[in-house]
């Protein structure tokens, strides 16, 4: 899974071969702990779970690669 700063339930199911219930339980726990945020506004209608602590800008990742 690429570090985009967010995941969908479907992405986690596919990547880890987890059931939908297990994925939702895990993501809901991260929400309750304040480690994730929800975005329901995407045009495809899929809920995205954002993890601000892992979001990288293209400038930051480019400069890290050059170090």
Torsion angle of the four alpha carbons 12, 13, 18, 21, in this order, in degrees rounded to the nearest 10: 100
Q: What is the pLDDT of residues 22-55, one digit of tens each?
A: 999 999 999 999 999 999 998 999 999 998 876 5
pLDDT at 35: 92
Q: Given its phi and psi angles, is residue 53 left (phi above 0), alpha (psi -120 to 50 degrees) or beta?
A: alpha
Which of 6, 13, 12 minimizes the C-alpha distance to 51? Answer: 6
Q: Which tokens is 62 given?
A: 């480019």
Please report the domains of the chain, with CATH numbers, ordered by start residue: 6-66 (1.10.10.10)
Question: What pTM was computed for the model?
Answer: 0.71
Give residue 52's pLDDT.
Answer: 83
Total residues belonging to the chain: 67
């Amino acid at each position: 899974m690429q570090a985009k700063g967010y995941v969908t339930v479907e992405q986690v199911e596919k990547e880890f071969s987890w059931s939908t219930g297990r994925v939702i339980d895990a993501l809901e726990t991260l929400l309750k702990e304040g480690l994730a945020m929800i975005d329901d506004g995407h045009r495809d209608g899929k809920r995205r779970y954002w993890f601000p602590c892992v979001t990288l800008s293209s400038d930051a990742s480019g400069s890290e690669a050059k170090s």
